Amino acid sequence: MNKKAKKNDGKIDKNLNEKNKHKIDRKINRKIDKKTIKNVEIDLVDRKLEIVEQDIYIDSTKSRSFPKWLIPMILVIVLSLALIWFVPVLFTKYQMQKAVSNDSEQIEIDPFLQEADAVLNQRSVAIWSEPNRQSFRITSGVYNEPVKILDPQINNGYYLIELADGVQGYALSDALTLNLNSYNSESAKNKVLLINREKAIVSDTMGGNVIATAPMGSVLYADYVTEQVVRVIIPGGDIGWMSRENLVVLDVNQAIPEPEKKQADIFCSSALIFVNVAYVPGGMDMSGIDLSSIIYLAGKTNGLKIPRIMQNQANYGTQISFERDRYGMPNIDALKAGDILFFSLDKNPAKLTSSAIYLADGNILYASGNQGSIQIVSLPANEKIAESLVIVRRLFD
């Protein structure tokens, strides 16, 4: 055998050995894998046995319950949504209903203003029973008060007029103006009520010239209002300025509000402004006044529509009965502040001669033909006055 053949035989043997080696390795590996799998199976069986022994089953289910905090949280969310969405809607609806209610209570639709023909252009205008100053003075009208002209013909320098509360009489034609801009101007945004004594109307905000004087109870209309001053339209259509002091500023059509508390005390305080003012039958300002006019003005500035004539006032409010002692003196224990008292020298309710406002502790605000001014008088100390008391009317509960 040559060397080349031997060399080839050696390569063949070597290849056979490597193949046999690979076969042997694969058999060994198969045995190892089978052994490993068997060991894993044995291990799983052992673990399953342990799970069974511990009574733990994969397919068993536990009962579930809601967390205790979940229900309170839901309630909080619901309440929050209610506060955010529903409460504002309800509140807005309530406010609208309240506004409508307030408007219906306070808006004053006065048909007399639509029918008026003129306004009074003086501080106080006497109303006479006949077209002359020698006749009986019925009452007075105040500055910027609207009136109807019942007869367009001037009689002896007087117009026959009617006031808003139905009083008719004669007023000087010069005391009226037919220009109605002072109360029905489209530029008016507010109306103002003077509630104390009297106030000057001036030409400018720095003072200027006094162009008119408005007495207590005057109602004027303003086209400009600040915290310090108001600009009012005066009879004739011109403008003037007033300070805000002692003025009540209202919407153009708003009724004069009544005091919410202590109405009787406020009414009496308004009347006491006229203490020591000259007594003038039918007068209605600080230059001269009577008790009927005081009652009318004190009522008007406090939202009460009391008539200005004494006989009509005796039918206003609630009738209050009182007893008399054996001497004919009235028992005043039942009287309250703010009551209106009426007197008759003939002791006849149909023939009233004077009136008064009961204050307190037996005191009255009173004036008569025998007095030169408005005074506070003790009723028990004045037997003649007390004996003539015939009517008591109560304005406040």
Express each pLDDT in 117-150 by its tens digit: 999 999 999 999 999 999 999 999 999 999 999 9
Answer yes or no: same fold for 111-179 and 263-394: no
Q: Which residues contact 344 (CB under 8 A, 6 or more apart)?
A: 351, 352, 353, 388, 390
Instruction: Look over the chain and give the mean of its residue pLDDT values, rounded to a whole number.
Output: 82
- Whether residue 93 is predicted with pLDDT greater than 50 in this model: the reply is no
Contact 138, 131 (CB under 8 A): no
pLDDT bracket for residue 262 (50, 70, 90): confident
pTM assigned to the model: 0.73
Does pLDDT of 182 surpass 50?
yes
How far is Cα 104 from Cα 363, in angstroms, rounded to an integer? Answer: 39
Domain ranges for the chain, please list them.
69-106, 111-179, 182-251, 263-394
Packing angle between helix 291-300 and helix 263-272, nearest 10 degrees? 130
Q: Which fold has domain 182-251?
A: SH3 type barrels. (2.30.30)
Top CATH class, 111-179? mainly beta
In this prediction, what percent of the chain has a pLDDT beyond 70? 73
Average pLDDT, integer, range 275-295:
96
Residue 41: per-residue pLDDT:
52
Cα–Cα–Cα angle for 281, 286, 292, rounded to 5 degrees: 40
- Assess whether pLDDT exceeds 70 at residue 38: no
Distance CA 65, CA 75 (A): 18
3-state secondary structure of 29: helix
How is domain 263-394 classified at the CATH fold level? endopeptidase fold (from Nostoc punctiforme) (3.90.1720)
Q: Please give the pLDDT value at position 61.
A: 47
Helix residue spans in the chain (DSSP H): 3-53, 70-81, 87-106, 111-115, 181-184, 263-272, 291-300, 310-313, 383-387
pLDDT of residue 382: 92
| Average pLDDT of the residues in 228-239 | 95
What does the chain come to in residues?
Answer: 397
- Could you read off the pLDDT of 348-396 as tens digits, one per residue? 999 999 999 999 999 999 998 777 999 999 999 999 999 999 999 999 9
Are the C-beta atoms of 336 and 360 separated by less than 8 Å? no
Q: Residue 57 gets which letter from DSSP? A: -
- Distances, alpha carbon 118 to alpha carbons 113, 157, 171, 366, in Å: 10, 16, 12, 34
User: End-to-end alpha-carbon separation of the chain, Å?
Assistant: 155
